[in-house]
C-alpha cells in the first residue's frame, strides 16, 4: 500500500479605503479590513488497482467585506461570501460564526474511491470545483 499526506496553509490580509462618494461608505464606513487563514490537508492511498483520496479544508475568516453580500443582494460585483455546499449533491461543509463578519468553515472538499484498469478508470465520490482562489 502506498500513502501520501500533504497540505498547505495560506494567510491573507487586505485593507480597503473608500472615498466619501463611494456606495461602500454606507455599508462599511471609510475602510474595511479582512483577514483569513486557509489550511488544506491532502491524503491519498492506493493498493493495486484501488485508490482513495480525501482533502480537508479549515478556513477561518474575519472580514468586514462579508457584509457587502447582505447589503448588496444580486450585485454583479464579485463579493466575499461564506462557502457552502447547499447546491451540491453532498453537503460536506459546516460553517460556524455569525457569517456577517466572521466564519469558521470545516469542509471535506474531495472524497473519492477509484478503480483503474488498463483501459478504464472508475471514480466514485466528490470533487468540489472552485474558481479563483480555491
Contact 96, 61 (CB under 8 A): no
All structural domains of the chain with their residue ranges: 2-117
Residue 101 in contact with residue 71, Cβ under 8 Å? no
Q: How confident is the model at residue 93 (pLDDT cuts 50, 70, 90)?
A: confident
The model's pLDDT over 59-83, given as tens digits with 9 standing for 90+, comes to 999 988 887 776 766 766 656 666 7
Greater confidence (88 vs 34) lies with 34
pLDDT at 86: 67
Long-range (24+ apart) CB contacts under 8 A made by 94-99 are 97/61, 99/66
Question: What's the pLDDT tens digit per position in 105-114?
Answer: 998 888 999 9
| Dist CA 129 CA 126 (whole Å) | 9
With bands split at pLDDT 50, 70 and 90, how would you rate the model's confidence at 134?
Answer: very low
For residue 125, what is the enclosing H or E element?
Answer: strand 121-127
Amino acid at each position: 500500500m502506498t500513502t501520501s499526506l500533504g497540505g498547505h496553509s495560506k494567510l491573507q490580509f487586505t485593507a480597503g479605503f473608500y472615498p466619501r462618494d463611494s456606495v461602500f461608505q454606507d455599508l462599511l464606513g471609510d475602510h474595511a479590513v479582512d483577514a483569513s487563514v486557509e489550511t488544506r490537508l491532502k491524503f491519498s492511498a492506493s493498493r493495486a488497482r484501488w485508490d482513495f483520496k480525501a482533502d480537508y479544508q479549515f478556513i477561518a475568516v474575519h472580514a468586514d467585506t462579508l457584509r457587502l453580500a447582505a447589503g448588496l443582494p444580486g450585485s454583479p460585483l464579485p463579493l466575499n461570501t461564506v462557502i457552502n455546499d447547499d447546491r451540491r449533491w453532498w453537503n460536506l461543509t459546516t460553517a460556524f460564526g455569525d457569517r456577517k463578519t466572521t466564519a469558521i468553515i470545516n469542509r471535506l472538499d474531495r472524497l473519492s474511491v477509484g478503480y483503474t484498469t488498463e483501459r478504464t478508470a472508475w471514480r466514485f465520490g466528490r470533487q468540489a470545483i472552485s474558481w479563483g482562489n480555491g
